[in-house]
């Protein structure tokens, strides 16, 4: 017998969709899923980085702007033709949103953040729910954040979107549990990479503080492990929820934050 067929950490024969898969957590998780045996679809707005990730892991790249419902429907339909199923969704696409106090935030930017992080997530969740309900199986992983369980100054749009994803996760877990579909959420803390570098630069400008001071006071020194989270560490947590390692777990949320409690 092939050992992989009895290993609950394996994803052999399964198709996984990773939104926001061209960089950061999405790209790292796509690699983790592929190494576990999954056929991986990486999606995002820009095709070139998706193609690089897909080529690296032997997966498939499909350009898709999650804030456009028609594009989301087309992406899921195309993904489904590859194996006939969609077994895993990592609902990861999103952006940091505006960095400003509530009193001063540009509401156009605020709404744009919600359209990507929340409305776009819902478009993906609707398609996944319909497909997986018909199959009678599947695992959905919503990418929330540590800011999905605690407020954070200057980040009201992002916080609101990530809090909402927790509620949607629990709602869908109740809705889809009877048909064998699990829905869970990941709550990364500060994850190293280009996205965090951009956020730090914007915070430094908005707050008039050096990047090094912001990093020390707000990210690394306040974590029990005194360091950043690496993208692949979030990917390994996603594999736990995607695989049968967590076969009895749904409606759950897991922090991946180096101990920021």
Q: List C-alpha distances in Å: 102 to 55, 157, 160.
A: 42, 9, 12
Report how many helices (DSSP H) and strands (DSSP E) the chain contains, helices first. 9, 7
CA neighbours within 13 Å on the CB side: how many for 171? 10
Out of 123, 158, 219, 241, the active site residue is: 158
Compute and round to an integer the Cα radius of gyration of the chain: 18
Q: Rounded distance, CA 81 to CA 66, Å? A: 19
DSSP state of 11: -
10 Å Cβ neighbour count for 170? 17
Query: Is 158 noted as a catalytic residue in this protein?
Result: yes
Q: Rounded distance, CA 86 to CA 104, Å? A: 42
Q: Rounded distance, CA 102 to CA 99, Å? A: 9
The span from the first CA to the last CA of the chain, in angstroms, equals 44
Residues belonging to the active site: 158
């Amino acid at each position: 017998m092939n050992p992989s067929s009895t290993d609950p950490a394996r994803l052999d024969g399964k198709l996984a969709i990773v939104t926001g898969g061209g960089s950061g957590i999405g790209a790292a998780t796509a690699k983790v899923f592929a190494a576990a045996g999954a056929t991986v679809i990486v999606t995002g707005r820009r095709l070139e980085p998706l193609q690089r990730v897909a080529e690296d892991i032997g997966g498939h790249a499909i350009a898709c702007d999650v804030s456009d419902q028609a594009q989301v429907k087309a992406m899921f339909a195309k993904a489904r033709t590859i194996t006939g199923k969609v077994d895993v969704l990592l609902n990861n696409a999103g952006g940091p949103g505006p960095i400003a106090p509530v009193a001063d935030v540009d509401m156009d930017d605020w709404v744009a953040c919600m359209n990507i992080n929340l409305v776009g997530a819902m478009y993906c969740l609707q398609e996944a729910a319909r497909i997986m309900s018909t199959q009678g199986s599947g695992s959905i992983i919503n990418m929330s954040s540590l800011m999905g369980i605690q407020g954070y100054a200057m980040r009201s749009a992002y916080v609101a979107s990530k809090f909402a994803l927790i509620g949607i996760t629990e709602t869908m877990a109740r809705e889809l549990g009877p048909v064998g579909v699990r829905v869970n959420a990941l709550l990364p803390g500060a994850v190293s990479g280009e996205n965090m570098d951009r956020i730090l630069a914007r915070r430094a400008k908005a707050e008039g503080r050096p990047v090094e001071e912001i990093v020390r006071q707000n990210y690394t020194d306040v974590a029990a492990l005194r360091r950043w989270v690496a993208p692949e560490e979030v990917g390994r947590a996603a594999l736990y929820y995607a695989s049968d390692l967590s076969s009895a777990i749904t409606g759950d949320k897991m922090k991946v934050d180096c101990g920021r409690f």
